[in-house]
């Protein structure tokens, strides 16, 4: 690392970072074609993420530290076009990675304004790249695709886009479910690095069966196969990404260039004086199967673990509840803690069960409320049956009571009458 940094420094003209790539705003870049026409391209959302938010992730805080020995970490060398063309051509892989001004702009963004984010991603790649590579290798896909999550999520496993795409691979809800990722109120497997990586590999393989071109596959991963088919149709059947480019959604126009730039910067970071953050690999983990509902706080309290650590190891559980009662569920723990969990399993399940997992299976209706309801019903019913008559000339209370099946005393009570005097033409309640 240090040898490469020194040779780069000696061989290249050095420019301060503050003078490099400062003409673009935070969420887009501007490119100029050969005719002098300017085009604005949206950045993939992950290229706008705040480094501070990434460094607040548990893995970052616990296992990543800045390289204090890094030389010239804020100095980005200048290279001519032919250098970039040559370097891109030497990246080992089968996915075409050509050079043009759009690609250059994205390389400039990564090597300039986002260089500290690249430093984070180089460090975090030690956590995630082995998982990505294994999933891609399982489905016999190009390993260059391991850098898709760099532009999808900036290697943030909890990333959620403005349209709801979630996790390292940024699965939308419907696509995630289509590829076997369970999503409900308690579980979101789009956030699980392992399960989502295998789902992404299957999805990419299916897209390649449709398009037969990796650049179109990468574009389709971003905007969906329907939009790629529309662009192909509008371009009179062209199936070259760079020929259908003008007909693609605005963000997708920058997606393949960003992918090429991500491969470039993750390969040639040394030449740009970018040092990976120092990484201490987390302790090894293992899993236990849970057959009952379990709250992570129960595990943390009895086993003496941090809640933040448990959440990081089990990112698919959205509300700290492992729904083992629904079906057997997987709980990932530090390997050294597996024995402690098994030894204390009964105590773990009993710890604060009533407060942490308070979901009543049955409830009794309050008798007071029931009786009040019945009383109210009787009162309303009685009122609904109330009846009045009009007193005719010469009628007496006795006669009216006899005609309506009641008594004089009841008539007096219902109508507030004292004595026997009543007046013809007035209304008299009889019920």
Cα three-residue angle 155-276-11, rounded to 5 degrees = 130
Q: Which candidate, 105, 78, 58, 109, places its Cα nearest to that of 8? A: 78
CA 187 vs CA 197, 295, 332: distances in Å: 17, 13, 14
- In this structure, what are the phi and psi dihedrals at residue 160, rounded to the nearest 5 degrees? -130, 125
Contacts for 98-103 with beta carbons within 8 Å, 24 or more apart?
98/242, 98/260, 100/242, 100/257, 101/31, 101/32, 101/33, 102/31, 102/41, 102/253, 102/254, 102/257, 103/257, 103/260, 103/261, 103/264
Angstrom distance (rounded) from CA 257 to CA 265: 12
Between the CA atoms of 151, 156, 157 and 160, what dihedral angle is there, to the nearest 10 degrees? -80
Residue 271 contacts by C-beta under 8 Å, 6 or more apart in sequence?
4, 8, 12, 77, 79, 87
Q: Which candidate, 71, 45, 49, places its Cα nearest to that of 255? A: 45
H or E element, residue 307: helix 307-313
Q: Which of 45, 68, 133, 152 is catalytic?
A: 152
152 is catalytic: yes
Residue 369 contacts by C-beta under 8 Å, 6 or more apart in sequence?
none
Q: Which candidate, 43, 29, 67, 48, places its Cα nearest to that of 154? A: 48
CA 280 vs CA 2, 127, 345: distances in Å: 19, 10, 30
Q: Are 256 and 272 in contact (CB under 8 A)?
A: no
CA 411 vs CA 58, 378, 379, 383, 391: distances in Å: 81, 20, 19, 16, 12
Angstrom distance (rounded) from CA 145 to CA 158: 20
**What positions carry a catalytic annotation?**
152
């Amino acid at each position: 690392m240090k040898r490469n940094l020194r040779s780069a420094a000696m061989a290249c003209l050095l420019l301060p970072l503050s003078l490099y790539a400062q003409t673009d705003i935070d969420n887009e870049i501007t490119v100029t074609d050969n005719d002098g026409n300017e085009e604005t391209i949206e950045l993939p959302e992950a290229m706008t993420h705040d480094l501070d938010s990434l460094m607040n992730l548990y893995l970052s805080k616990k296992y990543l530290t800045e390289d204090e020995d890094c030389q010239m970490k804020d100095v980005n060398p200048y290279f001519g076009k032919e250098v970039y063309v040559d370097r891109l051509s030497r990246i080992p892989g089968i996915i075409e990675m050509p050079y043009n001004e759009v690609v250059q702009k994205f390389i400039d963004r990564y090597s300039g304004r986002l260089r500290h984010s690249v430093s984070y991603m180089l460090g975090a790649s030690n956590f995630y790249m082995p998982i990505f590579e294994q999933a891609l290798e399982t489905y016999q896909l190009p390993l260059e695709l391991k850098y898709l999550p760099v532009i999808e999520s900036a290697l943030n496993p909890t990333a959620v886009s403005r349209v709801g795409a979630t996790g390292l691979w940024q699965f939308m809800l419907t696509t995630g479910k289509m590829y076997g990722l369970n999503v409900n109120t308690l579980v979101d497997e789009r956030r699980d690095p392992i399960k989502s990586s295998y789902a992404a590999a299957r999805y990419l393989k299916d897209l390649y069966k449709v398009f037969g071109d990796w650049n179109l596959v990468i574009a389709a991963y971003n905007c969906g196969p329907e939009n790629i088919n529309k662009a192909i149709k509008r371009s009179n059947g062209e199936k070259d990404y760079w020929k259908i480019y003008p007909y693609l959604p605005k963000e997708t126009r920058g997606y393949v260039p960003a992918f090429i730039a991500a491969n470039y910067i993750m390969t040639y970071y040394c030449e740009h004086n970018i040092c990976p953050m120092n990484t201490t690999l987390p302790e090894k983990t293992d899993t236990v199967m849970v057959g009952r509902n379990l709250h992570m706080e129960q595990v943390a309290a009895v086993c003496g673990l941090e809640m933040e650590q448990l959440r990081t190891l089990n990112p698919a559980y959205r509300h700290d509840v492992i729904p083992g009662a629904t079906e057997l569920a997987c709980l990932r723990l530090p390997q050294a803690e597996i024995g402690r969990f098994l030894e204390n399993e009964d105590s773990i399940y009993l710890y604060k069960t009533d407060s942490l997992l308070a979901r009543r299976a049955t409830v009794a209706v309050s008798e007071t409320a029931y009786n009040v309801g019945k009383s109210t019903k009787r009162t309303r019913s009685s009122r609904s049956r109330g009846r009045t008559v009009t007193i005719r000339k010469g009628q007496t209370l006795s006669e009216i009571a006899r005609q309506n099946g009641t008594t004089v005393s009841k008539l007096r009570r219902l109508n507030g009458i004292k004595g026997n005097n009543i007046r013809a033409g007035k209304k008299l309640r009889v019920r």
